[in-house]
Amino acid sequence: VQQDQGWPSMTVYNVPADMAILNACEEAIWLASYGPTRTVFVWGNKAALEVWGKASMADFSNTDLETGRTQIVEKIHKTLYQTVQVQKKQKRELRTMHPGGVPVCFDLIFDPLE
């Protein structure tokens, strides 16, 4: 358990071992890292792999989230990094993403991870 700048105490989980239970969820759940210069998928449950059309966790984590992204998407990623990772604030939003080129609306919750 750790405390960080007023953020409530959290349990530290090991990815992917501790995340396996989330494969039982029918909703797509994934972890992504929004860094200052790079955005990557870290882990996803089976439903997330299905939504994103990926056959394996390796395929999922190797998804190119940067090539061809618009300036608006780049700005969104940088804002997420600043708000969630730097300021340690939760952010929730509805967003349309295009896995496999198909528009899908997601209700997203972004929580800080270390």
pLDDT at 58 over 90: yes
- pLDDT at res. 68: 86
Cβ atoms 41, 58 nearer than 8 A:
no
Q: pTM value?
A: 0.78
Mean pLDDT of 62-80: 90
Mean pLDDT of 18-36: 89
- pLDDT at res. 20: 86
Q: What is the spatial distance between Cα 106 and Cα 43, in angstroms, rounded to a whole number?
A: 17
* DSSP at 20: G
Q: End-to-end alpha-carbon separation of the chain, Å? A: 12
- pLDDT at res. 56: 95
What percentage of residues in the chain have a pLDDT greater than 90? 54
Residue 82 sits at φ, ψ, to 5 deg, of: -65, -45
- pLDDT at res. 8: 52
